[in-house]
Homo-oligomer: A and B are copies of this chain.
Amino acid sequence: MIRVVHYGLGPIGVGVARLIASRKDMQIVGAIDIDPQKVGRDFAELLGRSEPLGVSISGDAQRVLTTSGAQIVVLTTSSSLKRITGQIRQIVECGSSVISTCEELSYPPAGNADRVADLDALAKKHGVAIYGTGVNPGYVMDALPLMLTVPCAEVKRIRVERVVDAGKRRLPLQQKVGAGMTRPQFQQKVDDGSVRHVGLRESATMIANSLGWTLSQYTEQIEPVMAEREVVTPYLTVKPGEVAGVHQIGTGFVDGQALVTLDIAMYVGAQEAHDTIWIEGTPNVQTTIIGGLHGDVATAAIVVNSIPRILSAPPGLWTPNDLPIPHWRRP
């Protein structure tokens, strides 16, 4: 029985916890959030379970971490590694391993080398592991493409294309991609950084470093996808001419050549959602996940399925490229 604490109870944290609550081999032993609306309630309420879990949501992280005996803490509080570094330190110093959906933790060396070295040393000192993952970054735009280079004698270029129907996702995501905005509103949100998928740089860096390519340059462009017809989702309606979502392309250059292209379009009303990976090389490998992976469902599963690998990893801070292939396992 793996003892798990959940730290950060937004939609992703709740999604992971729902899956863990359904497994016989894992036990939720604590739940931490700062939201006064949540603190004090039984965690089961938030998960929509009729039976109480006997775990009261707490705002006192230190107390939960020191008394729960957690082997692992699922940390889902922020996309910013800088913002969660204090939380990671706190967890590690209490003796628990950390798995986080923080996008910047999935492949952190890009610009965070000192921070990463500190956390790695701290994890080793306390005998625990730190790991960041998720569907993207963490899987479909980095670890899976790497896995698809295995049968290649040579790799010349990698391109991943995701088309996600944001209309099937949670409201915050529909808002995050700008659905329903005007073009100027969208541009303003792009300029202030609030419409942006975090993680393309991390995925591009993980691919390049793993393949022995040194990125000489990395660029990212963000454009709106405009609705051509009215789109109605369970949460909102987008009229023709309004923004339906975002199209974002991260490009990694090696010696001036664009060798890694990560192209993600997330918009309401997207037809034929898919994840397609092209490895240009010897041989070419092209694979498509029909329908694409559902970001929320897949991220929760990837976190849960990675836990056994993290608990059996040596102490330290690891990336998806360091540990054996995770996989689903019957509880």
Query: Which A residues are within 8 Å of any B CB, using their own CB?
Result: 19, 135, 139-140, 143-144, 146-147, 149-155, 210-213, 281-291, 293-294, 297-298, 300-302, 304-306, 320-331
* Chain B: minimal CB distance from A274 (Å): 10
Residue pairs across A and B with Cβ atoms less than 8 A apart, 28 shown, are: A19-B153, A135-B151, A139-B150, A143-B147, A146-B325, A147-B147, A147-B325, A147-B327, A149-B327, A150-B301, A150-B325, A150-B328, A151-B297, A152-B305, A153-B297, A153-B328, A154-B328, A210-B329, A212-B329, A213-B330, A281-B328, A283-B291, A284-B291, A287-B290, A288-B288, A321-B325, A322-B324, A323-B324
Residues on B with beta carbons closer than 8 Å to the beta carbon of A150? 139, 301-302, 305-306, 325-328
A290 to B288, CA, bound (A): 9
CB <8 Å contact, B211 and A327: yes
Residues on B with beta carbons closer than 8 Å to the beta carbon of A282? 297, 301
Residues on B with beta carbons closer than 8 Å to the beta carbon of A135? 151
A282 to B19, CA, bound (A): 11
Residues on B with beta carbons closer than 8 Å to the beta carbon of A140? 151
CB <8 Å contact, B285 and A288: no
Query: 4 shortest A-B CB distances, which residue pairs?
Result: A151-B298, A212-B330, A149-B328, A146-B327
CB <8 Å contact, B213 and A301: no
Task: From A140, A151, A293, A306, name the one whose CB has the most chain B CB atoms within 10 angstroms.
Answer: A151
CB <8 Å contact, A304 and B153: yes
Residues on B with beta carbons closer than 8 Å to the beta carbon of A301? 150-153, 282
CB <8 Å contact, A147 and B144: yes
* Chain B: minimal CB distance from A315 (Å): 15
A328 CB contact (under 8 Å) in B152, B288, B324, B331: B152
Residues on B with beta carbons closer than 8 Å to the beta carbon of A300? 153
CB <8 Å contact, A324 and B324: yes
Residues on B with beta carbons closer than 8 Å to the beta carbon of A331? 212
Residues on B with beta carbons closer than 8 Å to the beta carbon of A146? 325, 327
CB <8 Å contact, A327 and B294: no
* Chain B: minimal CB distance from A310 (Å): 13
* Chain B: minimal CB distance from A111 (Å): 23
* Chain B: minimal CB distance from A163 (Å): 15
A325 to B211, CA, bound (A): 12
CB <8 Å contact, B305 and A283: no
CB <8 Å contact, A289 and B287: yes
Task: From A139, A154, A211, A294, name the one whose CB has the most chain B CB atoms within 10 angstroms.
Answer: A154
CB <8 Å contact, A287 and B285: no
* Chain B: minimal CB distance from A288 (Å): 6
CB <8 Å contact, B329 and A211: yes
A146 to B330, CA, bound (A): 13
8 further contact pairs, Cβ within 8 A, besides A210-B329, A322-B324, A324-B324: A135-B151, A147-B325, A152-B301, A152-B328, A153-B297, A283-B298, A284-B291, A286-B291
